[in-house]
Structure 1
Amino acid sequence: MWRELSVTPVVENMGDMRNSTLICAPIMADTVDQMLIHMNSAKSNGADLVELRLDSLKVFCSREDIQTLIEFSPLPTLVTYRPTWEGGQYDGDEQSRLAVLRLAMELGADHIDVELKAIDYFKSLISGDKPAKCKLIVSSHNYQYTPSVEDLENLVSRIQSAGADIVKIATTAVDITDLARVFQITAHSQVPIISMAMGEKGLMSRILSPKYGGYLTFGTVERGKESAPGQPTIRDLLDLFNFRQIGPDTKVFGIIGKPVGHSKSPMLYNKAFKSVGFNGVFVHLLVDNVKNFLETYSSKDFAGFSCTIPHKETIVQCCDEVDPVAQAIGAVNCVIRRQTDGKLYGCNTDDVGAISAIEDGLRASGFQDGSSGSPLAGRLFVVIGAGGAGKALAYGAKEKGARIVIANRTYDRARELAEIIGGKALSLADLNTYNPEDGMILANTTSIGMQPNIDETPVSKEALKSYALVFDAVYTPKITRLLREAGECGAVIVTGLEMFIGQAYQQYERFTGLPAPKELFREIMADY
């Protein structure tokens, strides 16, 4: 039935596509020589132009240094001399600062960035005499929040009236729904516009700039060289998110979660999309309130979502229709927006991905299938966690004939799930002394042990001696402390990557309506 609910395939020869949105690399360094090195790196990484952040230089001789930077730049230049009152590092007087920008313009800069608060004074310095080659960017930065659409429209109007060739607005994403206002302003701008929301929740605004017609987006030469919060690297834009192929008709998919930056889903799906010319992009979505998110991004262009911790249970109530299996589990990890009517269809692929990986691990180690045709039949299957993934694994293992035990930090939640599934409940603390029989299966579905907390484990090493197989849904890192210690105790170990790949097959087919490229998925994750 799910194939009928898939997104209509959008397949094009993406190799022939290239949007007009530029990638600008901010260049920040202590010295001019270091800047020149970073500028060449920006070109080799694929940037279209460089932003010379003069305010980052520790020693600055204006005419000589500007001339050197512009003359030896391998790419077109954007010169910025950002004051501290607008988030930069320059703390001197305004007349000297703006005189430097005027000089950069005269010496051949392709763009200069002047803050809206300073534009009137700057215009008085140049008396309207500006080289035709140089584009004037008038910018406004809000480091606290993202204003209303009406306020943003007024801001754009003021910037345009100030004589800007290009409008630039940078706001701060307090919530991911703030980006919708930025997209609206960008899509309806009558002049070239650079627009983005800063911070981790604003990442999508940078990636989708070409979808809404942005003039440029910023990509750093390397991590740690960001000029503003939330900037991706050039290579991430090009290689991870297929930035050059994003256009107005590109369908948007993403992984909804909190945290979510660790997810490898964008790498997997975007490479697969590109391999078959599917016109879609898959992004990280740091979501606080999943209901608000889905209501805000209700366009059919936002065509499907993976869902992870902590939203798998909440999202069930947000769907117009839920697959019976997901309804029984009480958790959804995949949402499709039907292109016919825009309705949301929820399903769950966690149980199939994880249970198949666990069964394969048992069979590969010589464990025989039971009466139900599964090596899980009759075995004691201990699930750590009573959230969405925990419910999925408990449900899936029960279907295979296993006896279920639920262990959770909050005992009442473990008891509730155990009653539904027909199993036994334990507190997480009790698990350290729980060893009624040998040959048990342990499955951790919590985030315990996930980066950056890699030294954590949900159960003591001593307690692991009773288990024949240990599975961990965490896949960052690939080998968690739990798996490492389980292996040392002689248990078969199954990594979260196996579950991740298994459930991804099904999600990809739901997203695209195309067969999953299984060999490609395994090749991609083998490099991880």
Structure 2
Amino acid sequence: MGGTGMLNNSTMICALLMAQSVEQMVKDMHQAKAEGAQLVEIRLDYIKNFQPHQDIQIILKNKPLPVIIVYRPKWEGGQYEGDENSRLEALCLAREMGADYIDFELKVASDLTREQKMKNDNATKVIVSHNIDGMTPKDEELSNLAASIRATGADIIKVVVNIADITEIAKIFHLLSHCQVPIIAYSVGERGLISQLLCPKFGGFLAYGSIVGHSLPGMPSLYSLRHTYKLDYLNSETKVFGLVSKPVGHSKGPLLHNPTLRHENFNGVYVPMFVDNLEEFFSIYSSPDFAGFSVGFPYKEAVVEYCHEVHPLAESIGAVNTIVRRPCDGKLIGYNTDCEAAITAIEDALKGTPLSGKLFVLVGAGGAGRALAFGAKSRGSRIVIFDIDFERAKSLACAVSGEARVFEEVVNFQPEKGAILANATPLGMHPNTDQRIPVAESTLGDYELVFDAVYTPRKTKLLKDAEAAGAIIVGGVEMFLRQAIGQFNLFTGHEAPTELMREIIMANF
């Protein structure tokens, strides 16, 4: 793959600022610069008791970066509800005072833009924007909209959508990559996150980020844009790898995979993908650009049917956590790197004590649970499975010659001394860190080792209680690391730098 050692795109990183006072706005501008922003968008409609002449002058006099001045009315999703002429006069005043960019809505733009361009002797650029409510239009309709905006005389086109499904973002990418003038296009909300993260790949004019202390749904932090994803190094050739999950906010995958890709000089980026419908997702994101996927909760079993081929281990487990798009024919090949990752983590913690013949108590029969069960079976353990879906527990127990129990019995279950306990449910995952599987605290000391697949936080309530009872504990971070090493090998065809990846894990998890 192409190297990543030089800057590859002209996309700028912009901080969206919505302070309620001009004094705070000035502070936020300086904070944005310190956090890596290249320009800032000032939302005048958020400033309380806004005084146009005075406040705009203060902002422009104290700006440490180029500014985009926006004064968004209620009818276009903003906060301003006053006189329309006063609003437009404030924007024109910002141009006269030397704002770098001013933003007009398409509805009012045509005459204003021409007027401003005739007066424009101070290099102020005009952005003409449009906010789309409801379903994202088809590619042709979006192209026509962009043409309408361009016809106003805009220097820069801006289109904002509010998607209901991640597949709609493909239309944004199409618009970005085919537009002949500078364009800003993205979606708000958690499902729209990749419209910011992949903006440079498809040629967007800028990507938005938030400053510390002012996070917004679907908007990455400036820090993550600069340090985790390093948007400066993305280009049209960058391969996209993503976590397919619902939700995705808990994922630490980008913190691990992105610096590893850069270390190996591999032109790729790893992003979280909030997916609602697997069939539609794989149908829409079918280009070679989307080269591979991690698969998270709750899709590890369901995703198997969308793979063109499945590795024998993953097929026997009935769960896939890694998908690679085969370059020669574009087919999706499914793998399972969870199984060996979890079992070897447990074995290494036991320091030579074999799993053969041990009682292996598994709570959770989903994708991660299936990987653990088949791993335990391969080592000769005797397996007991608890799950809130008893039929699912029975199905897995049958596949691994184990025993299924109803979930409610786990609280009274008395293990034999030296048994292994493994949690493969999401119980205890951030933000619900006070939860754990309802194993009786009095029995935790009977287990030689307790494993928890949850890795946020690193030490869950289950692990804390087990450690206090004297058991060896193994957290999900170790499983996460090992399965990620396997994924990296499959994604890139390179041998993963395991020591580097371990160092990253220890520093960030």
- Does TM, scored on the shorter chain, surpass 0.5? yes
Decide whether the 8 Å contact of 2:415 with 2:443 is kept in 1: no
Find 2:455's aligned residue among 454, 466, 475: 475
Separation in 2, partners of 1:158, 1:57 = 31
Percent identity of paired positions between Structure 1 and Structure 2: 48
Find 2:300's aligned residue among 312, 318, 343: 312
Query: Partner amino acid for 2:324?
Result: I
Q: Give structure 1 stretches of 5+ with no counterpart.
A: 1-9, 370-374
Separation in 2, partners of 1:222, 1:526 = 23
Question: What residue number does 1:260 align with?
Answer: 248
Q: Which moved more, 1:456-465 or 1:314-323?
A: 456-465
Whether 1:402 aligns to 2:381 is yes
SS at match of 1:136: strand
Q: Which moved more, 1:216-225 or 1:239-248?
A: 216-225
SS at match of 2:119: coil
Q: Which moved more, 1:83-92 or 1:422-431?
A: 83-92
Q: How does 1:490-505 map to 2 (within 5 A)?
A: 490-505=470-485
Question: What residue number does 1:100 align with?
Answer: 90
Question: What residue number does 2:426 align with?
Answer: 447
Q: How many residues align?
A: 507
Decide whether the 8 Å contact of 1:334 with 1:346 is kept in 2: yes
**1:94/1:263 CA distance change after superposition, 3 Å:** same
Question: What residue number does 2:229 align with?
Answer: 241
TM-aligned CA deviation for residue 125 of structure 1: 6.4
Separation in 2, partners of 1:481, 1:512 = 36
TM-aligned CA deviation for residue 143 of structure 1: 4.4
Q: How does 1:127-142 map to 2 (within 5 A)?
A: 128-131=118-121, 133-142=123-132
Question: What residue number does 2:417 align with?
Answer: 438
Separation in 2, partners of 1:292, 1:402 = 40
SS at match of 1:16: coil
Find 1:89's aligned residue among 79, 91, 96: 79
SS at match of 2:90: helix
Separation in 2, partners of 1:336, 1:442 = 32
Question: What residue number does 1:7 align with?
Answer: none
Q: How does 1:18-417 map to 2 (within 5 A)?
A: 18-120=8-110, 122-123=112-113, 126=116, 128-131=118-121, 133-226=123-216, 229-363=217-351, 368-369=352-353, 375-417=354-396
Normalized against structure 2, the TM-score is what? 0.97
Structure 1, residues 273-295: CA drift from partner, whole Å, max 9, x if none? 11122100000011111221111
Decide whether the 8 Å contact of 1:223 with 1:233 is kept in 2: no
Question: What residue number does 2:407 align with?
Answer: 428
Normalized against structure 1, the TM-score is what? 0.93
Q: Give structure 2 stretches of 5+ with no counterpart.
A: none
Separation in 2, partners of 1:70, 1:449 = 48
Structure 1, residues 419-477: CA drift from partner, whole Å, max 9, x if none? 11100001111111111411110111111111111111112323423311110000111
TM-aligned CA deviation for residue 132 of structure 1: 5.3
Separation in 1, partners of 2:229, 2:182 = 23
Decide whether the 8 Å contact of 2:293 with 2:323 is kept in 1: yes
TM-aligned CA deviation for residue 128 of structure 1: 3.9
TM-aligned CA deviation for residue 48 of structure 1: 1.0
CA RMSD of aligned residues (A): 1.5
Separation in 1, partners of 2:194, 2:38 = 20
Separation in 2, partners of 1:55, 1:412 = 56
Decide whether the 8 Å contact of 2:127 with 2:155 is kept in 1: yes
TM-aligned CA deviation for residue 30 of structure 1: 1.9
SS at match of 1:497: helix
Query: Partner amino acid for 1:344?
Result: L
Q: Which moved more, 1:428-437 or 1:455-464?
A: 455-464
SS at match of 1:442: strand
Poorly superposed stretches of 4+, deviation over 6 Å: none
Whether 1:509 aligns to 2:471 is no
TM-aligned CA deviation for residue 391 of structure 1: 0.8
Structure 1, residues 389-431: CA drift from partner, whole Å, max 9, x if none? 1111100110011111111011111011111110000111111
Question: What residue number does 2:499 align with?
Answer: 519
**1:143/1:456 CA distance change after superposition, 3 Å:** farther
TM-aligned CA deviation for residue 15 of structure 1: 2.6
Separation in 2, partners of 1:485, 1:502 = 25
TM-aligned CA deviation for residue 496 of structure 1: 0.2
Question: What residue number does 1:464 align with?
Answer: 444
TM-aligned CA deviation for residue 123 of structure 1: 4.4
Decide whether the 8 Å contact of 1:242 with 1:274 is kept in 2: no
Separation in 2, partners of 1:37, 1:445 = 46
Question: What residue number does 1:5 align with?
Answer: none
Separation in 2, partners of 1:522, 1:446 = 24
Query: Partner amino acid for 2:425?
Result: T
Separation in 2, partners of 1:76, 1:154 = 30
TM-aligned CA deviation for residue 11 of structure 1: 4.1
Decide whether the 8 Å contact of 1:11 with 1:276 is kept in 2: no
